[in-house]
A and B are shown apart, each in its own frame.
With several copies, the nearest count.
Chain A
Amino acid sequence: MRKLLIANRGEIAVRIVRACREMGISPVAVYSECDRAAAHVRMSDEAYAIGPSAPRESYLRIDRLIDAAAQSGADAVHPGYGFLAENADFAAAVRDAGLTFIGPTPEAIATMGSKTAARAAAIRAGVPVVPGSETALDARVSDAELVSLAASIGYPVLVKAVAGGGGRGMRTVHAPADLAAAVRAARSEAGTAFGDSTVYLERRLVRPRHIEVQLLGDLHGTVLPFVERECSIQRRHQKVVEETPSPVVSPALRARMTSAAAAVAKTVGYTNAGTIEFLLDEDGRFYFLEMNTRLQVEHPITEMVTAQDLVHWQIRIARGEPLDLDPAALLAPHGHAIECRIYAEDPDNNFLPSPGRIVSLRTPDGPGIRDDSAASAGLDVPIFYDPLISKLVAWAGSRPLAIARMRRALGEYLVTGIKTTVPFFTWLLAQPEFVEGRFHTTYLDEVLASRAGRPFVESSDEVEDVAAIAAAIHTALSAPANGSHGNGRAAAGRWKTDARLEGLR
């Protein structure tokens, strides 16, 4: 493998570029119109335009991606996450073009991409699943049948899209009377979002935690699980903070959950990187929820506590290398790691997206801090894609220190020009429930509802005085006579350099 096309953008494309560089593989970028000067393009060796900014005209165009691979002479394709990462047709198209797909087989993607087929696989592996309907419910299932099915599962029930993800096509129903409407709404949303309107029903557990197990499977039948990730801090079913190890998983429970995860993967002959998601109830029972047949957004925290590089392993597995790792070491976390997903959203305005140009950017660094990002000052966060700015990871010897370090890093993080979720995380990481590890998948939605939009930053009188003084001084010294140059010593020096360069003509 000498050249690898990255069928993605943003921070995950940058992440894959870095792995390529470390492995001596030449990274090839693709870009939509608005991404011409994006970080993943600038950092790659080659770059190919694949269409307009809207994803369905570029990053979702299988034909154009295969064309770009051919044009560049790439011999492998990494899908990243999102876009086509869990699209079996794409994996098949890559294979049919004679290229290596860095991921599982199209067959495994198809099986585990169906929530009902995945549930069946878990049951075959002897792993408990959340009580629910064993088959997909299409439009022909009558309302009466739905009510009877729900009664047998027990309320509250969740209506979930078979092809779903990210909380879309999902509804909670507490009483039979609301069931039919919820199913209709979920079908409609799922149809629009995924092109597949079938849904299924599942018992909604009370205050469960979301615990997931990262797996690697090689082409020689070895499947190895990693120490669990705790992903219960979610907003509207979207993960916002992840950490490893979980504050509530004992070594004994870890052994059972990771064995169960490996068993499910082996049942479907799974290869490459994947993740088994579980719900863990308040009594310590866990249930298979679904499998993600790709690299996860939150993979860095696993890397920090195991000293393994998951993207390297994805590539090595695809090249046929065996997983020659000590299984016990993968279950013995070295320290603690936490990830905050920094979004271009306005937390004080109902987390509304806040795309636009980043004016200033200062990212945290120093001990235990990793920032996986594709942002830079002067470039746009486009309106067309997921508004993830960066994945900020803090690693330390213990959970309290990792939290302290993350708070320190958030204090160093400066993004101006757009709104970000930094102030929200600063607030969240100070909450006693978070600090003490007392949370579950609905904790965040509940506490957000109870705050009723109160701002996350309540600045002190002194900070407001300083902001007022700074605004006044800045206004006073930004005289038009100076153009955009200001009066600054530092700035003046830079402009002098420009003037010198201009003298070149």
Chain B
Amino acid sequence: MHYEVEIGGRLRRIDITRSGDDFAVAIDGRTRQITATRIDAHQWSLLVSAPGKSDTPGRRVTYDVAISVDPAGALTVHVGSTPVAVIVNGRRRWGPGDKRHDGAGAGSGPQRVAAPMPGKVVRVLVAQGEVVRARQPLVVVEAMKMENELRAGRDGTVSEIHAREGVSVEAGALLIVIQ
């Protein structure tokens, strides 16, 4: 079976051949032997052979892996305790995340900044038509006892402002759009 997995902007092409718990996995053409044992619905124990041209061909590296959908709808693979955001076959959002914000992450198309949690809009820091830079604070939402700045994911122009100071918003409410 063939999969395309994108991590940090880099696409890996993966072909899997299965034989019980053992898998021959070609990753961008390099084949690696994997033993995958399922722990539960979310967790796997992987034993991975050393990469092809290694001088220690017999090495068997062990990884504990957990797979989940995070609150923003992104697929996260924890390798040990290290979270890695992955996009499988081009799909960026899963489940309820579909109708929610795109976070502050960079991407193509308009950036729609939505409330990540219920709260109250404390300050709107930009105006319609304003040019903003990546990571510039756009709006402050108070929730969970903290004031939380939502920032621009990339450079652009503020094309829509739906946030109004002092107004309570639900999770997922669209606050600002940047073109």
A and B touch in the complex (CB under 8 A): yes
Interface residues of A (CB under 8 A from B): 29, 36-37, 41-48, 71-73, 166, 349-356, 359-360, 376-379, 383-387, 410-414, 416-419, 422-423, 426, 452-453, 457, 459, 462-477, 484-491, 494, 496-498, 500-501, 503-504
Main secondary structure of the interface of B (DSSP, over half): strand
- Listed by A's residue number, 10 A-B pairs whose Cβ atoms lie within 8 Å are A46-B61, A73-B56, A353-B144, A385-B144, A453-B135, A464-B8, A467-B5, A472-B88, A473-B34, A488-B38
Point out the residue from A47, A383, A498 that lies within 8 Å of B62, measured CB to CB. A47
A485 to B36, CA, bound (A): 16
A73 to B118, CA, bound (A): 37
Point out the residue from B62, B79, B151 that lies within 8 Å of A470, measured CB to CB. B79
Decide if A504 touches B88 in the complex (CB within 8 Å).
yes
Closest to B5 in A: A468
- Of B70-78, B124-132, B155-163, the segment with at least 4 beta carbons within 8 Å of chain A is B70-78
B86 CB contacts on chain A under 8 angstroms:
467-468, 471
Closest to A386 in B: B145
Decide if A385 touches B40 in the complex (CB within 8 Å).
no
Decide if B69 touches A497 in the complex (CB within 8 Å).
yes
Point out the residue from B62, B66, B144 that lies within 8 Å of A416, measured CB to CB. B66
Instruction: Please tell me the size bucket of the interface on B.
Output: 35 or more
B83 CB contacts on chain A under 8 angstroms:
419, 423, 457
Decide if B47 touches A418 in the complex (CB within 8 Å).
no
State the Cβ distance, A358 to closest chain B Cβ, in Å. 9
Decide if A490 touches B40 in the complex (CB within 8 Å).
yes
Looking at A166, A377, A383, A494, which has the most chain B CB atoms within 10 Å of its CB? A383
Decide if B32 touches A503 in the complex (CB within 8 Å).
no
Decide if B116 touches A352 in the complex (CB within 8 Å).
yes
State the Cβ distance, A65 to closest chain B Cβ, in Å. 15
A504 CB contacts on chain B under 8 angstroms:
75, 88-89, 91, 94
A473 CB contacts on chain B under 8 angstroms:
16, 23, 25, 34, 36, 44, 46
A46 CB contacts on chain B under 8 angstroms:
59-62
A422 to B14, CA, bound (A): 30
B76 CB contacts on chain A under 8 angstroms:
416
A486 to B7, CA, bound (A): 24
Decide if A383 touches B144 in the complex (CB within 8 Å).
yes
State the Cβ distance, B43 to closest chain A Cβ, in Å. 6
